[in-house]
Amino acid sequence: RVAYVNGQYQPHGQATVHIEDRGFQFADGVYEVWAVFDGRLADYEGHMTRLGRSLSELRIPAPMTKEALTRVLRETIRRNRVRDGLVYLQITRGTARRDHAFPAEGTPPSVIVTAKNLNYPRSEAQAAKGVAVVTQPDIRWGRCDIKTVGLLPNVLAKQAAKERGAAEAWFVDETGLVTEGSSTNAWIVDQDGKLRTRDTQANILRGVTRAAVLDILASEGFELDERPFSVDEAKAAREAFYTSASGFVTPAISIDGAKIGDGKPGPVATRLRARYIEAAR
């Protein structure tokens, strides 16, 4: 078998993309699967139209013209001698040093195509008998407690933040409460001077830095109120900050343009940052 990878046909077993491909690290990509009957692409236009839409919704530039892409699909079918089977196409935002926000303009998207024959007699036999199905709750993707690489919503949030001149985006649930950041846990020092952060039972990532900061709070004599806060509470807070392995403790000075406190890093966040770095070193 042969696979198309970024302009080259390679033996399927040796066909690879870079370890910093955004598809691999962030699920930052799109795909299509075409059925192949008698060597021809089924529902060609339907899949092409959806592909174009997926790319444009994610603002991934088209890697080549539709005609060129179609030639690649056909050539992959031909080289794999597929008569009745499937063609798989995946396009990612390309390879770049890991950062949630989009890479520099001009970063070429990655394109891979594979094709395989299907066992039609087996498919027919299964269809003749019929199959069983089971139900599952639709939680796509509601398991934010798992540190999965399925980070596309986080990528889009970080990019939106960047485009609005911000360093981080805080996710807000349907009731107006802050859940966590796109790659950080969110905190405030409320008007009573208490540290507030959402509890980790509530479908957020159990931040390791968050846990380390919780340990520091006790020894520093800060008061903790481990429950979620609203956007309005954050805007009215004395301080706001976020925690992560990459940013340690980072003071936030505004939310959606509204100044927090006096618009400067506050004493609690500043103290916690110093103590965290001291303890972690």
Of 151 and 268, which has the nearer Cβ to ligand PDD?
A: 151
Which one of the spans 7-15, 65-73, 183-191, 270-278 is the region binding ligand PDD (CB under 6 A)? Answer: 183-191
DSSP of 8-61: EEEEGGG----TTBHHHHH--EEEEEEEEETTEETTHHHHHHHHHHHHHHHTPP
CA angle, residues 30, 34, 35, in degrees to nearest 5? 155
Length of the chain: 281
- What is the smallest separation between the CB atom of 242 and ligand PDD, expressed in angstroms? 8
Q: Are strands 254-255 and 258-259 parallel, antiparallel or unpaired?
A: antiparallel
- Pull the structure tokens for residue 156: 């889009």
Question: What span, in angstroms and rounded, lies between the C-alpha atoms of 23 and 170?
Answer: 23
CA dihedral 16, 20, 25, 26 (to 10 degrees): -110
Of 108 and 247, which has the nearer Cβ to ligand PDD?
A: 247
Q: Does 148 bind ligand PDD (CB under 6 A)?
A: no
Question: What span, in angstroms and rounded, lies between the C-alpha atoms of 31 and 237?
Answer: 44
Which one of the spans 23-31, 72-80, 205-213, 271-279 is the region binding ligand PDD (CB under 6 A)? Answer: 205-213
Of 185 and 250, which has the nearer Cβ to ligand PDD?
A: 185
Of 80 and 183, which has the nearer Cβ to ligand PDD?
A: 183
From candidates 60, 161, 205, 240, binder to ligand PDD by CB under 6 A = 205
Which one of the spans 1-9, 73-81, 121-129, 178-186 is the region binding ligand PDD (CB under 6 A)? Answer: 178-186
Under rule CB under 6 A, how many of the chain's residues touch ligand PDD?
14
Q: Does 185 bind ligand PDD (CB under 6 A)?
A: yes
Q: Does 273 bind ligand PDD (CB under 6 A)?
A: no
Q: Are strands 224-225 and 195-197 parallel, antiparallel or unpaired?
A: parallel
Of 26 and 34, which has the nearer Cβ to ligand PDD?
A: 26
Q: Does 92 bind ligand PDD (CB under 6 A)?
A: no
From candidates 90, 95, 114, 183, binder to ligand PDD by CB under 6 A = 183
From candidates 189, 209, 229, 260, binder to ligand PDD by CB under 6 A = 209
**Catalytic residue status for 147:** yes
Q: Does 76 bind ligand PDD (CB under 6 A)?
A: no
- Are the CB atoms for 251 and 265 separated by under 8 Å? yes
- Pull the structure tokens for residue 226: 């481990």
Question: What span, in angstroms and rounded, lies between the C-alpha atoms of 61 and 217?
Answer: 46
| Catalytically annotated residue among 66, 129, 147, 264 | 147
Beta-ladder partners of 116: 86
Q: Shortest CA distance to 185 belongs to which of 212, 152, 219?
A: 212
Residues with a catalytic annotation lie at 147
Which residues of this chain interact with ligand PDD, rule CB under 6 A? 154, 180, 183-185, 205, 207-210, 243-246
